[in-house]
Amino acid sequence: MRANKLPTEEIERDPAAFADRVTADGRFGFAAEPGRYRLVVSRACPWAHRVVMTRRLMGLEEAVSLALTDPVQEIIGGDPHWVFTERTGSPGGRDPVLGIHALREAYLARNPGYDGGVSVPGLVDIPSGHLVSNDFDQLSVDLATEWGHLAREGAPELYPAALREEIDAVSDEVYQDLNNGVYRSGFAPDQRRYDRAVAAVFNRLDALEERLTDRRYLVGEHITLADLRLWATLVRFDAVYHGHFKCNRRKLIEYPALWAYARDLYQTPGFGDTTEFEHIRAHYYRVHTAFNPTGVIAIGPDPRGWLSEHGRETLGGRPFGEGTPPGPVPTGERVPPLEEQDRPAGDDWSVPKS
């Protein structure tokens, strides 16, 4: 989907163009080695966010370096591209490690004939400059299960074997109706398909509200990948999906259990400390010019509500199970405090120039 074109068909998310796996034993050709890979993400993107959260919770910051693209994509050849800019810490508009301006260059290094879309996250093999994978779901699973020898002491079990079937079943429902459903609502080409998509969004939110009323986490007694997958959408819901994508039957803050659940996780290391609302708002409102042609960025909602008390501790459970919280965020990866994210965007988020 070109963000600056009006939709003519219902949005369909293509399978990952590159899905090589990085494993502990290298059985698929890529071994989990410290310093070999660079994870390219945008803080605006929910699909990338779940991988960033997994990396943070597992304590893999030193093993896998992080590269931040600009939240506002640059139009190159008529298509939006994830690019590096000085605004997000890349001197001269090139990633200091990979030496590229646009993530597409890593795609082309892997396959010079590639002519498809470019998405984040992208895991890049630093020595070759080749993209290894843009499969956000498998990247999360592998970071949670195949990098244990490089993970921090006390890293949680985000994908425990005994719960995988339930995690996958819950995640599939959330993906179909909510994670991807907000996009199907926002990019609906006609009333009938919008009505169908937005109904699924709120039916799923209603079901999740009921599920989370008397349990602290989606599956089991601690955080799992199911929570990361859901939360990446919830944290963006009132800021962009409610208004920008017309998912406006109710706000997240109108769901007592879901809103408390979302705040509980926001205040848990690995969640709020990887979230940058300025990037989220700038991306959606600046890039989707088909239905926001002025590029005006909405100012709200006030993000400080994420720090209010939630009371979810009374439901029991331990966020990290038998593990421990991750340590401080590395200096170069810290997001601004909430009070600095609650300000008018002004001209700070113009389309980047190459």
Q: Are strands 30-31 and 22-23 parallel, antiparallel or unpaired?
A: parallel
| Alpha helices (H) in the chain, listed in sequence order | 46-58, 104-110, 136-145, 164-174, 181-186, 191-211, 225-236, 256-266, 277-287, 338-341
In angstroms, the CA 115 to CA 36 distance is 26
Alpha carbon 179 to its chain's center? 10
The H or E element containing residue 125 is: strand 122-125
- The residues assigned a catalytic role are 45, 183
Contacts of 65 by beta carbon, 8 Å cutoff, 6+ apart: 35, 37, 38, 39, 97
As annotated, the binding site for glutathione includes 82
As annotated, the binding site includes 82
Q: What is the CA radius of gyration of the chain?
A: 19
